[in-house]
Amino acid sequence: MNYKTMEEDYSKTESLRSNTEIILPGATSALVLVWVALCVDSMLFSMIVPIVPLALRDKVHAWEIGLLFASKSIFQILSSPIIGPIVDRKGTRWMLMLGIAIVVVSTTLFAFAHHYWPMFIARSLQGVGSSATTIASFALLAKLYVSDEARGQAMSKATFAIGFGVLIGPAFGGALYHFNKSSPFLVVAAIAFVGGVLQLWWYATYGDGKQLPRADRGSVSGGVEGLVVPLLKTESSSVYGNAEAEENTSKAKEETEGEQDNEQEYTQLGLLKDLNMLFLCIITVVGNMSVAALEPTVPLYFTNSFNTSSWETGLVFSSCAGSYFIGVIITGYFQLSIGRIFLMTFGIGLVAVSLAAVGIFEKRRTNPEEAIPGLAGVGLGLGFVEAVTNPLLSSYTDICFPNSQGKAFSLTNISVSIAFIVGPIAGTAFYHHTDFEATTLSLGIIVAICTPITYTTARNIVRVLKKNELEDPNINSASEL
């Protein structure tokens, strides 16, 4: 990477620096549509949790139900390496539309499926649709939100949508299922369909974002210059004559397209050879695996120790989801002022300490509510980490791997899927061979080992961003270090 060239470009474009805070046309409405798409997909992910065991009761073995639940993550892992490069080459339009269409089809299939294999096919299809929706959504936000601050807030809101959908899905699905077995799926399918129609409108109005790479480029030489074309379009009547404006716009486009043609195309394996990218994926796996391992083991522990009902268990476990939302919101708005290195390191450390606390005090508990502080700590810490990871990954990709947002987010999608396959299996296996205390302590130790890796990775990436003049010059470096 030629840092000297970037510094020279920065001095020539300093007068346009303030324009990097501009939110590109259609960004706000795109964020709303992305929020709905991610929330609907997440609702379907968790909505079947209380429904499938009832629908398939006494019809299949327990391991078959487990395989049905895992099939979504399996097909996400299989489809993500294909979807990421397509998003980078073709833009987000068709992949986002395809993703929402698959979600509509799979949800409708769930509505009328009364046997195992139709449900398995629907769940597997949802994995493909979820990959397309998630990867294209975050890639689109990376293109539309140029500055670090705006991008961080937008991606935090998108992350919040995923968590919100997961949280309300079981309650929403369980409540409607009692009235009509198909109603929860038909309602979600209808919402997804309306969202898809609105996406068609958005793309017809603002374009597919494929030709925005100079605006989404993280380096100043790309990111600021990428704003020149839209600025010329909106200000040409007052600054230039019509002919001169068209000539300048045409030249800017030709220069941009020429630079894009010379760009190297990276593979997902090439991205993973970068240690910072690899460690970000490892951090994502470890953080999500800790929560995924708690999902089956906490209910088992509560049932065996306190004979709690399902709604009591859900209420206590919701403290983890609630604190996760708080962490995401705080990080989204204050990550630059608080410091992203601090937030990521503190967050992963908080997860480790909270997991250990949940296990250490196991034998001293007299009721399940005493586990709420520990579970809340796990959710809060994970919220800090995830809300920083996505925008940090996006900005780093802009600099080191231009035009590879789809591939980068496909890697995080694969990482999350791996966590939600390995976590429940490893957690329940360890729980059955030991006990709840040993399980949570082991998880805490694994996360604690990841803490210095998190600090080093976050520090290295922030240094790269600062070297490329991405950070706001008014932010004191001490806030990051």
Query: How far apart are the C-alpha atoms of 122 and 128, rounded to whole Å?
Result: 10
Query: How far apart are the C-alpha atoms of 101 and 125, rounded to whole Å?
Result: 11
Neighbouring residues of 267: CB distance < 8 A, sequence distance ≥ 6: 85, 407
Mean pLDDT of 432-443: 89
The residue that leads in pLDDT, 467 or 308, is 467
Phi/psi of residue 143, nearest 5 degrees: -75, -35
Q: Are 193 and 104 in contact (CB under 8 A)?
A: yes
Q: DSSP character for 19? A: G
Whose structure tokens read 């890639």?
A: 139
Q: Is the dihedral of CA 27, 32, 35, 40 positive or negative?
A: negative
Q: Are 333 and 159 in contact (CB under 8 A)?
A: no
Nearest to 212 by CA among 141, 268, 149: 141
- Summarised one tens digit per residue, pLDDT across range 454-464 is 999 999 999 99
Q: Is 209 left (phi over 0), alpha (psi -120 to 50) or beta?
A: left
Query: How far apart are the C-alpha atoms of 49 and 21, rounded to whole Å?
Result: 42
Confidence of residue 310 (pLDDT cuts 50, 70, 90): low
Q: What global pTM score does this model have?
A: 0.78
Residue 226 has pLDDT above 60, yes or no: no
Going from the C-alpha of 451 to that of each of 31, 261, 321, the distances in angstroms are: 32, 40, 22
Query: How far apart are the C-alpha atoms of 348 and 337, rounded to whole Å?
Result: 19
Residue 288 has pLDDT above 60, yes or no: yes
Torsion of CA 433, 438, 441, 445, to 10 degrees: -50
Strand locations in 216-317 (E) = none
411-443 burial: b if 16+ Cβ within 10 Å, else e = bbbbbbbbbbbbbbebbbebbeeebbbebbbbb
Least confident of 16-30, 75-89, 294-308, 417-431: 16-30
Query: How far apart are the C-alpha atoms of 135 and 94, rounded to whole Å?
Result: 12
User: Facing residues of 145 across strands?
Assistant: 23
- Summarised one tens digit per residue, pLDDT across range 126-166 is 999 999 999 999 999 988 888 878 888 899 899 889 888 88
Nearest to 108 by CA among 126, 94, 90: 126
The residue that leads in pLDDT, 262 or 343, is 343
Mean pLDDT of 418-426: 88
pLDDT at 464: 92
Average pLDDT of the chain to the nearest whole number: 79
pLDDT at 263: 56
Confidence of residue 424 (pLDDT cuts 50, 70, 90): confident
- Summarised one tens digit per residue, pLDDT across range 9-57 is 433 433 333 344 445 778 889 999 999 999 999 888 888 877 887 788 7
74-91 burial: b if 16+ Cβ within 10 Å, else e = ebbbebbbebbbbbbeeb
What SS3 class is residue 127? helix
Nearest to 178 by CA among 50, 314, 290: 50
Share of the chain above pLDDT 90, in %: 40
Residue 408's CB is within 10 A of a number of other CB atoms, namely 29
The residue that leads in pLDDT, 287 or 64, is 287
Confidence of residue 469 (pLDDT cuts 50, 70, 90): low
